[in-house]
């Protein structure tokens, strides 16, 4: 908290005569759902507070989107602006351009945001504000917030963005500045620690399912047809696993968390093609290490892992003098840039509005996320640098193995 909340929330009079159901100060959500685990850690429940730290109509807010594209980015920006303006009467909102670079002296100047400007941005994919990766000078970013008179900054991004947000909040605290930093977790990989779902994930899975259905048509239309689809997942295979279950067309699912060898995979494909004549393989981009390749881009991912896997498989089938028709599909950038589906759009709207509620109450250095379908405040220090992974002995991977029928590929 930046300090004691002393201002009455305007929400009491803006919704109905009965008022808004404000969240009580001690409301929390436990991480464990087991009644036997009463010592489980818990997070503060998110939502509107009756008392605010900021005088809402005097707030100057900033919004920044960082990292790669993700479905729903514009929905979140729009929701934040609408909540600031319509719920709290704030009219001074800056959109910082192209990630944290926009908070530096060399960055593109910020733009003024309002409801008319953002009214239709949720209809398009990408980022209206622009996005970029990479660290920027910490002191310079905080100096920009001070220069612009910013009361609260909303950072929308994944692990790197949230680590940056925590660093900014720490610097602000060291300077004793009354600036709230609130994050909204954006990673298409759905791997933010403690958060059971990040926005954009559901849209990506839906889009990936369509691709996998097309891949199945390609594979079964060729003699010994094999179609390899590469999906996002630098360290975690949640999209790959979930799209496998959603499509019902995948025969082999490969994720970074579960070991496999190209040799074992090729041997299994021999059996699969002999029995069924075609196969669909879906592989997460972070599986390059399983191929013995530790090189990659600046984010640690190898963009052509599917092509490398196809080359290994083709080489194996040449050694046994057996014809095989392999096709490779990488829809990654297409999946990232589409508008959000209805379910994701609703979730984005919730996240954006609850982020505003948190900042207005003086809460800072946190991310608004979902735990057991409840929105909560998770301290950025817990999220930054941590991550969720598929548990190889857990239910999700068990369901994948049942759906595909694949054996252990080691």
Average pLDDT estimate for 167-179: 97
Question: What residues pair up with 8 in beta bridges, in sequence order?
Answer: 51
Give 184-238 pLDDT, tens digit per residue.
Answer: 998 888 888 888 889 999 999 999 999 999 999 999 999 999 999 999 998 899 9
CA–CA distance from 247 to each of 209, 219, 243, 275, 403 (Å)? Answer: 5, 15, 6, 21, 10
Residue 167 pLDDT more than 50? yes
Q: Is the pLDDT of residue 166 over 70?
A: yes
**Beta strands 92-96 and 42-45, pairing class:** unpaired
User: Average of pLDDT values for 334-351?
Assistant: 93
Cβ neighbours of residue 110 under 8 Å, at least 6 residues apart?
Answer: 62, 94, 95, 96, 97, 102, 148
Which domains, ranges and CATH numbers included, belong to the chain? 7-199+340-383 (3.40.50.450), 202-335 (3.40.50.460)
- Confidence (pTM): 0.91
For 318-333, the pLDDT digits (tens) are 999 999 999 999 998 8
Cβ contacts of residue 176 below 8 Å, gap of 6+?
none
If one counts every other C-beta atom within 10 angstroms of the C-beta of residue 65, the result is 30
Query: pLDDT value at position 301?
Result: 47
CA distance 83 to 180: 16
pLDDT exceeding 70 applies to what percent of the chain? Answer: 93
| pLDDT at position 383 | 85
pLDDT of residue 296 exceeding 90, the answer is no
Query: For residue 17, is pLDDT > 70?
Result: no
Instruction: Give pLDDT, residue 114.
Output: 96
What are residue 369's phi and psi, to 5 degrees? -140, 180
Whether residue 292 is predicted with pLDDT greater than 90 in this model: the reply is no
pLDDT of residue 42: 87
| Active centre residues (catalytic) | 189
pLDDT tens track for 67-122: 889 999 999 999 999 999 999 999 899 999 999 999 999 999 999 999 999 999 99
pLDDT band at 385 (very low <50, low <70, confident <90, very high): confident
- The pLDDT of residue 16 is 58
pLDDT at site 356? 98
């Amino acid at each position: 908290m930046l300090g004691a909340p002393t201002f009455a929330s305007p929400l009491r009079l803006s919704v109905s005569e009965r008022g808004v159901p404000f969240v009580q100060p001690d409301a929390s959500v436990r991480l464990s759902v087991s009644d036997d685990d009463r010592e489980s850690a818990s997070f503060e429940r998110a939502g509107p507070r009756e008392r605010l730290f900021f005088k809402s109509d005097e707030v100057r807010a900033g919004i920044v989107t960082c990292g790669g594209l993700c479905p729903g980015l514009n929905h979140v920006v729009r929701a934040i602006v609408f909540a600031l303006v319509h719920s709290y009467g704030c009219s001074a909102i800056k959109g910082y351009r192209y990630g944290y670079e926009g908070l530096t002296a060399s960055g593109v100047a910020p733009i003024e945001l309002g409801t008319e400007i953002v009214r239709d941005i949720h209809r398009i994919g990408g980022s209206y504000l622009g996005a970029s990766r990479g660290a920027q000078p910490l002191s310079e970013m905080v100096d920009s917030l001070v220069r612009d008179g910013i009361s609260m900054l909303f950072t929308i991004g994944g692990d790197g963005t949230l680590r940056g947000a925590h660093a900014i909040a720490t610097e602000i605290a060291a300077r004793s500045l009354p600036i709230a930093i609130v994050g909204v977790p954006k990673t298409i990989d759905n791997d933010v620690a403690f958060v059971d779902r990040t926005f954009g994930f559901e849209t990506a899975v839906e889009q990936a399912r369509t691709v996998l259905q097309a891949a199945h048509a390609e594979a079964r239309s060729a003699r010994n047809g094999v179609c390899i689809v590469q999906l996002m997942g630098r360290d975690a295979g949640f999209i790959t696993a979930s799209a496998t279950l959603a499509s019902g067309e995948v025969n082999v699912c490969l994720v970074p968390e579960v070991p496999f060898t190209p040799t074992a995979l090729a041997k299994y494909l021999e059996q699969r093609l002999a029995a069924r004549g075609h196969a669909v393989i879906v592989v997460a981009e972070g599986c390059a290490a399983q191929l013995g390749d530790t090189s990659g881009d600046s984010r640690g991912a190898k963009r052509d892992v599917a092509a490398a896997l196809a080359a290994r498989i083709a080489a194996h089938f040449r050694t046994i003098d057996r014809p095989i028709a392999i096709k490779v599909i990488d829809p990654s950038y297409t999946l990232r840039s589409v508008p959000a589906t209805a379910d994701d759009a609703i979730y984005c709207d919730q996240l954006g509005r609850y982020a505003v509620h948190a900042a207005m109450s003086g809460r800072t250095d946190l991310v608004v996320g979902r735990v057991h379908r409840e929105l909560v405040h998770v301290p950025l220090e817990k999220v930054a640098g941590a991550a969720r992974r598929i548990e190889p002995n857990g239910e999700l991977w068990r369901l994948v193995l049942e759906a595909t029928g694949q054996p252990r590929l080691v």
